[in-house]
Structure formats: C-alpha cells, structure tokens
Amino acid sequence: MTATVAAQENAAAALPSRARAPHRRRRSTALRWRRVLLGAAGIVGFLLLWEIASRTGLVNPQYLPPPTVVFGELFRQLTTATFWTAVRQTMTSWAVGLAIVAVSGTVLGFLIGLSRFLKRFTASTIEFLRPIPSVALVPLAVLVFGIKPESAILLIVYAGFWQMLIQVLYGVSDVDPVAESTARTYGLGRWARIRYVVWPSALPYIVTGLRLSATIALVLAITAELVIGVPGIGSQIVLAQNGARVPTVYALALATGVLGLLVNFALRLVETRLLSWHSSIRSEVV
C-alpha cells in the first residue's frame, strides 16, 4: 500500500518534472488494475488447487472436503436460523466487551496519562499484568459464569483493556508540547486543554487501540465459545466437529474469517472517517 506508492514516487522522481504528474496517474491506474486482477487470480488459483487436491484424493476428502462442498455448506448455513443466532450471540459478546474496553480504557488512560504521579505509580503493575494471557482466566470464567456470555466478556475485557490502555497512554503523552504551551499562554484551563488539545491529539491512538481491541475481542469471543462452550459460532464449530459434520466445520471457519475481515474493515472505515482531518495517520504503536 504505502510502500508501493513510495516506489512509484521514486520512479516518478527520476522523470523531468513536466512529465511527472500525468505519468504517475496513468501508471497508478494500470498498476491498480493489475493488482486487483492478480489478487483475484491468487484466490481463484488457491481454490482450484484445493479442489483438485481434495477431489483427486491427494488429501483425504473426508477430512478436507473440496471448496465446492464447503462453500455449498456455507451458503446453506446462511439460510438457517441457527447460524444467524450464533452470529448474533458472538457479536453481542463482542460488542459489549468492546464497549466496556473502550470506555474503561479511555477513561483510565486519560486519568493515568495526565497525572505524572499516577503514571509512575501504575507503570510496574501494568507491565506485570499486561503479558498475562487472557486464556489463563478461562478456568476462572468457567467457575464464575459457566457458559453464560459473561465468560466471553470477561476474557474480552481483560485482554482488550490492556491494549486500549497502552494506546491511550501513548496518545495522551504524545501531545505536542508546543500546542500545549500555546494553549496555556492563551489562558485555557485544565479541562479546556484536555478537550481542545489532548483529546484531538490522542484520538488517532484511541482509534488504533479500538481497532486492535476489536480484533482481539473477536478472537476471544470465539475462543470462549470453542473452549468453554458459550453459545456462538465457536460452539457451533465444536458441535459440528463432535457430530463429524466436516464440511460444516470448514464452512464456519471460513465464516469467522469473513467476520474478522468485516470487523477490521469496519474499524478502518471508522478510522478514516474520524481522522480524515488528521494529516498524518499515525502508525501503530504496539
């Protein structure tokens, strides 16, 4: 994406300035078409290989059914109520968990980030708790909530919170000191500074944090369903596996991929909309 543009710009830089602009325009549309076509070819090629491998028995078709069968099953699933119920269940846990993460992460991030004392005070605890894998809480979730969606939400909140918090902390401390000083000299009080200087400056990080947490939230929602049995797509996959409905397992796995793509796409959309005013879309601080 960006690197290709850089490569193009480099090629364009070798040109005399007069020819640069129109030349680049034509080359970039041609390049874009090529990229789209090749990408599609890649997907089609992969599906073809898979189909051949499965049909010719290269891979045991009982355990790896051909894509035609899998996609057939996937489309069939789309017509069933159980499928959509499962999707709804998964996405509800996802949404609730994400909302809690977003609010708590942002609020605590601001509180801690704006206070030098609190930052230092909590730094060691955050560094210690952060790398603890959320799956460690699975048994606890089972004990306390069983197969209720709260189990999933617990996992989501624990993992997503740290991601969000770190990003917000970065965002709050990344405020341009010049902007801050300017605001102060114009007599903006603390709250006004937060509203007009800190918040917009931290917004890109908040959105990035949201995007990262959203992906993690989906992974953990499905994990909770797979491992604990919370109702949702994950539990449907386990059911299919136990019932030896092999094509269904693959179909649902593909469905989760699509969900993942949609979540990512939706959040990138939010990112571009909210941050269209921001000249530099900051890179991820992970």
Partner 1 sequence: MRLKRLGATLFYALALPVVLIAVWFLATRSGTNGFTPEPVKLVQTFFQTWIGPAFLEDVVPSLTRLGLGLVGAIVVGILLGLVIGMSRFLRDLLEPLLEFFRAIPPPVLIPVLMLLMGIGDVMKVAVIVIGCMWPILLNTIDGVRATDPVLRETARSYGIGGLARVRYLILPAAAPRIMTGVRQSLSVGLILVVISEMFAAVSGLGYQIVVFQSTFKIPQMWSGIVLLGIIGLLLALVFQRVEHVVLRWYHGLREVENGGTR
Partner 2 sequence: MAHADPVETGGPLLPVRGVQKVYSSDNGDVEAVRNLTFDLARGEFACLVGPSGSGKTTLLKCIAGLMAPTSGEVLLDGRPVSGPPKKMAVVFQEYGRSLFPWMRVRENVELPLRNAGMPRAERGPIVDEALSAVGLAHVPRSYPWQLSGGMQQRVAIARAIAYQPEVLLMDEPFAAVDAQTRADLEDLVRAVWKRLGVTVLFVTHDIDESVYLAQRVIMLSSSPTVVQEDLRIDLPEERDQLETRGMPRFIELRHRVYEQIQLAKRGVRPAAELAPAG
Residues that bind partner 1 (CB under 8 A): 2-4, 6-7, 10, 34-35, 38-43, 45-46, 59, 63-64, 120-125, 128-140, 142-144, 177, 218-219, 222-223, 226-227, 234, 237-238, 241, 246, 249-250, 253-254, 256-258, 260-261, 264, 286
Output the smallest distance, CB 13 to partner 2, in A: 9
C-alpha closest to that of 172 among 107, 126, 124: 107
Residue 132 carries which side chain, given as an amino acid letter? I
Q: Alpha helices, DSSP H only, in 16-115? A: 17-55, 67-78, 81-113
Question: Cβ(252)–Cβ(236) under 8 Å?
Answer: yes
Output DSSP code: residue 136. Answer: G
3-state helix, strand, coil in the chain (%, to 5): 80, 0, 20
Q: Which is nearer to partner 1, 58 or 192 (CB)?
A: 58
Output the smallest distance, CB 71 to partner 1, in A: 14
Query: Which residues bind to partner 2, rule: CB under 8 A?
Result: 14-19, 22-23, 25-26
Q: Which is nearer to partner 1, 49 or 99 (CB)?
A: 49
Output the smallest distance, CB 17 to partner 2, in A: 5
Q: Which is nearer to partner 2, 8 or 68 (CB)?
A: 8
C-alpha closest to that of 217 among 168, 144, 148, 161: 161
Question: Cβ(260)–Cβ(217) under 8 Å?
Answer: no
Q: Which does 131 bind (CB under 5 to 8 A by kind): partner 2, partner 1, none?
A: partner 1
Q: Which does 25 bind (CB under 5 to 8 A by kind): partner 1, partner 2, none?
A: partner 2
Q: Which does 273 bind (CB under 5 to 8 A by kind): partner 1, partner 2, none?
A: none
Question: Cβ(235)–Cβ(82) under 8 Å?
Answer: no
CA-to-CA distance for 147 and 244, rounded, in angstroms?
23
Q: At what angle do helices 199-227 and 138-145 cross, to 10 degrees?
A: 70
Residue 275's φ and ψ, nearest 5 degrees, are -110, 20
Q: Which is nearer to partner 2, 16 or 187 (CB)?
A: 16
Q: Which is nearer to partner 1, 9 or 192 (CB)?
A: 9
Question: Cβ(218)–Cβ(259) under 8 Å?
Answer: yes
Q: Which does 81 bind (CB under 5 to 8 A by kind): partner 2, partner 1, none?
A: none
Output the smallest distance, CB 226 to partner 1, in A: 5
Q: At what angle do helices 17-55 and 2-13 cross, to 10 degrees?
A: 140
Output the smallest distance, CB 170 to partner 2, in A: 24
Q: Which is nearer to partner 2, 23 or 278 (CB)?
A: 23
179 contact partners, CB below 8 Å, separation of at least 6: 197, 201
Output the smallest distance, CB 138 to partner 1, in A: 7
Q: Which is nearer to partner 2, 6 or 52 (CB)?
A: 6
Output the smallest distance, CB 106 to partner 1, in A: 21
Q: Which does 18 bind (CB under 5 to 8 A by kind): partner 1, partner 2, none?
A: partner 2
